[in-house]
A and B are shown apart, each in its own frame.
Chain A
Amino acid sequence: MSIAANRLTAAQYKQNFSDIHPPFETPDAALVEANRCLFCYDAPCMKSCPTSIDVPKFIKQITTGNIKGSAHTIFSSNIMGAGCSKVCPVEKLCEGACVYNLMHEEAIPIAKLQRYSTEIAMQKQWQLFSRKASTGKKVAVVGAGPAGLSCAHMLSREGVNVTIYEKESKGGGLMTYGIAAYKVTPQFCEDEVNYITGIGGIEIKYEQELGKNISLEELQKNYDAVYLGIGVGLARQLEIPGEDLSGVEDAISFIYNLREKGYPAIPVGDKVAVIGMGMTAIDAATQAKRLGAKEVTMLYRRTENEKPCTQVELDIAKLDGCEIIWLAAPKEIKGNGKAEQLVCSVMELGEPDASGRRSPVDTGKTFILEVDMVIKAAGQMPFEALVSNTKLENKAGKIVVKDKAATSIAGVFAGGDAVNGGKEVVDAVQAGKDGAAAILKFIGG
Chain B
Amino acid sequence: MADISCNFLGIKSPNPFWLASAPPTDKKYNVIRAYEAGWGGVVWKTLGSQVKNVSSRYSAVNFNGTRVMGFNNIELISDRPLEINLREITETVKEFPDRATIVSLMADNDRESWHELIKKCEDAGAMGFELNFGCPHGMTERGMGAAVGQDPEIAAMVVEWVMEKATIPVITKLTPNVHSPVPTGIACVKAGTNALSLINTIQSVTGIDLDTLVPNPYVAGKSVFGGYCGPAVKPIALKMLTTISQDPVTSKVPISGIGGVSTWRDAIEFMLLGATSVQVCTAAMKHGFRIVEDMNEGLNNWMDEKGYKTIYDFIGKSVEKITHWEDLDINYHHIAKINQDKCIHCGLCYIACEDTSHQSINLDYGKPYNTYTIKKEECVGCNLCQLMCPVTGCITMEEHRVAPDYINWKMWQEEGRPLNDH
Interface residues of A, Cβ cutoff 8 Å to B = 31-32, 34-35, 38-45, 47-48, 63, 97, 99-100, 102-103
Expressed in whole angstroms, the Cα–Cα distance for A32 and B67 within the complex equals 12
What B residues does A42 contact at CB under 8 A? Answer: 347, 350-351, 363, 370
In the complex, residue of chain B having the shortest beta-carbon distance to the beta carbon of A32: B65
Q: How far is the CB of B394 from chain A (nearest CB, A)?
A: 10
Let me know if A41 and B65 touch, CB within 8 A. no
Q: How far is the CA of A29 from the CA of B103 in the complex (A)?
A: 43
Closest chain A CB from B353 CB (angstroms): 10
A47-B367, A99-B345 are contacts. A41–B351 as well, Cβ < 8 Å? Answer: yes
* Interface assignment of B348: CB less than 8 Å from any CB of chain A: yes
Chain B interface size, as a band, is 10 to 19
| 5 closest cross-chain pairs (CB), A and B | A41-B347, A35-B65, A44-B368, A41-B351, A99-B344
> Is there an interface contact between A99 and B346, defined as CB atoms closer than 8 Å?
yes
Q: Known: A35-B65, A63-B64, A99-B344. Contact between A41 and B350, CB under 8 A?
A: yes
Which residues does chain A contribute within 8 Å of B380, judged by CB atoms?
none
> A42, A48, A63 — which one has the most chain B CB atoms within 10 A of its CB?
A42
In this assembly, does B307 line the interface, its C-beta being within 8 Å of a C-beta of chain A? no
Tell me whether B328 is interfacial, beta carbon within 8 Å: no
B345 CB contacts on chain A under 8 angstroms: 40, 44, 99, 102
Residues of B within 8 A of A (CB): 64-65, 344-348, 350-351, 363, 367-370, 390-391
Complex-state Cα separation, A31 to B370, whole angstroms = 28
Measured in the bound complex, the distance between the Cα atoms of B370 and A40 in whole Å is 11
Q: Which residue of A lies closest to B369 (CB)?
A: A44
Q: How far is the CA of A42 from the CA of B363 in the complex (A)?
A: 10
Give Cα distance in the complex from A418 to B344, angstroms.
38
Contacts of B64 in A (CB 8 A): 35, 63
* Cβ B370 vs Cβ A38 within 8 A: no
A43 to B344 Cα, complex, angstroms: 11
Task: Name the A residues within 8 Å of B346 (CB-CB).
Answer: 38, 40-41, 43, 99
Task: Report yes or no: A43 in contact with B347, Cβ–Cβ below 8 A.
Answer: yes
Closest chain A residue to B354, Cβ basis: A41
- Min CB distance, B388 to chain A, in Å? 10
**Cross-chain contact B368 with A47 (CB below 8 angstroms):** yes
Docked Cα-Cα span, A44 to B367, in Å, equals 7
- Inter-subunit contact A31/B368 (CB<8 Å): no
CA distance A32 to B370 in the complex (A): 27
Residues of A with C-beta under 8 A to B351: 41-42
CB distance from A123 to the nearest CB of B (A): 20
The complex places the Cα of A63 from the Cα of B346 at a distance, in Å, of 19
With a 10 A CB-CB cut-off, give which of B64, B347, B348 has the most chain A CB atoms: B347
A36 nearest CB neighbor, chain B only = B65
**Contacts A35-B65, A48-B368 supplied; 6 other A-B pairs, CB < 8 Å:** A41-B346, A41-B348, A47-B367, A97-B368, A102-B345, A103-B391
Instruction: Give the distance in Å from the alpha carbon of A63 to the alpha carbon of B64 in the complex.
Output: 7
10 contacts between A and B (CB under 8 A): A31-B65, A34-B65, A38-B346, A41-B348, A42-B363, A42-B370, A45-B368, A47-B367, A97-B368, A99-B344
Q: How far is the CA of A439 from the CA of B280 in the complex (A)?
A: 67
Q: Give the docked Cα–Cα distance between A42 and B347 (Å).
A: 7
Q: Which of B348, B368, B391 has the most CB of A within 10 A?
A: B368
Most buried by B among A31, A43, A99, A103: A99
Residue of A nearest to B363 (CB): A42
In the assembled complex, the Cα of A169 lies from the Cα of B168 at a distance in Å of 90
Q: Is the CB of B344 within 8 A of A39?
A: no
Residues from chain A with a CB closer than 8 A to the CB of B370 are 42
Q: How far is the CA of A100 from the CA of B346 in the complex (A)?
A: 9
User: A39 and B65 in contact (CB under 8 A), knowing A44-B368, A44-B369?
Assistant: no
